[in-house]
Amino acid sequence: MTVPDSLADADGLATFAVATVLGFEDFGADAVVEAVRKSLPELADEYGEQVFAQLSSALRGAEGDGASPWSRRTRWPSLEDRVQRMERVEYAQLCRVRDALTLLVEASPALALARRAGVENSDVRHIEAVRALNRRTDEYLRRAEAVSRYPAERAWKGFTGLLLHVCSSPGRLSTFQQDVTVLDPALNDVPGLGRRVLARCMAASDGEA
């Protein structure tokens, strides 16, 4: 659905894609599970580390009879499971997550412009350093940037999906505050950040002229 995030992600996606076409038995359960782990480490946040053990068990069972591993013992949360998880989230916590994600969406245009133009200041450097170290924070920023580019009617759907994604995953929800506050204080003044990035871009443009 998106371009690979890293070389490990690309390698994992390639392995999984070829295994889907040629047959999982040609690669072995361990290789396929490792490919999924490389490309989708966030599965552990949503479903727990046991998801990889379940997937490995399903693949091993499918190796002998050629059946689809997805029809076997791997159990993904149902809609009912997700609704029940959301019902356990306190309203105040839901609002805090909503407000934090809104801030990330508002900051996304300035951060995207800074990356494209090669603008560097202390705030941008701090954010990029955090992204390199924390894959969850990087994911939230990437998804927030995608939402910021959508037309209004689609943006609401994308934002709601991101909000539910965080709040219906106990693992993500438990670390969310830490994953976003580590960006402080770079996003304390989003309008000011946007003005500083734009000013640097204009200055660079004038210098080239």
Predicted pLDDT of residue 9 = 66
Predicted pLDDT of residue 74 = 45
Total domains, the chain:
2
User: Taking the model in full, what pTM does it have?
Assistant: 0.65
133 within some domain: yes
Q: Which of 115, 73, 62, 96 is nearest to 176 (CA)?
A: 96
Distance CA 189, CA 6 (A): 30
**Rounded mean pLDDT, 88-92:** 93
124 with 36, same domain: the answer is no
Q: Is the pLDDT score of 88 beyond 70?
A: yes
Distance CA 139, CA 124 (A): 17
120 within some domain: yes
